[in-house]
Structure 1
Amino acid sequence: MNSITRETSALGPVVAGTDGSEKAMEEVLWAAGEAAARKQPLAVVHAIGVEQAGYVAHDESHRVLDTAKEVLDDAATLVSRW
C-alpha cells in the first residue's frame, strides 16, 4: 500500500447531501466518483431545515418521511446507473 492509498483510505466514507434537485443530484454523482476513486463507501443523506419542517404533526410526518425516502431512492437509482 503506498502513502496515497493510506491517506485516502484513512479519510473514510464520502458523504453527499441531496434535496432532490438537479444540481444536488449532480453533486451526488460527483461524490460517487470520488468514493470510487478513493475506494471508500458513499453515504447519501437528506435533511430538511427547521424553517421547512418546524413542528411536524403526526399525520404529516409520514409525508415528510415518504418524501425523504423518495429523494434517497432517486439518488440510489442514479448512482446505481452510473
Structure 2
Amino acid sequence: MVALLWLATIASALAVVQTTQRSRELTAQLVQAQKTRDELRYEQERLLLEKGAWSAYSRIEKVAREELNMHVPAPDERVLVTTE
C-alpha cells in the first residue's frame, strides 16, 4: 500500500512539473503573439497615415499639374457629350 502511495506521489509530482513547463511555454508563446500583434497594429496605423498623406487632394493636384502636365480645361476646351 505504501509503495502504491509512493508511486502515486511521484506520478503526481511529475505531472505538476510537466504542467508547469507547458504553462511556461504557452505563456512565452502568448507574449510573443502579443508582441507581434502590437507590431502589426503599429504598422497598420503607420500605413493608414501614409495612405492618407499620399491620397490627399492637394498632393494629387500637385502631381497632376507638375508630373502629368494636366490643367483645368478652359471653357472652349470643354466638350459636352450627350447620350441618345
Question: Comparing both structures, which one devotes a greater share of its residues to strand?
Answer: 1
From the CA coordinates, give the structure whose radius of gyration is larger.
Answer: 2
User: Higher relative contact order at CA 8 Å, sep ≥6: structure 1 or structure 2?
Assistant: 1
Alignment TM-score > 0.5, same fold: no
Question: Comparing both structures, which one devotes a greater share of its residues to helix?
Answer: 2
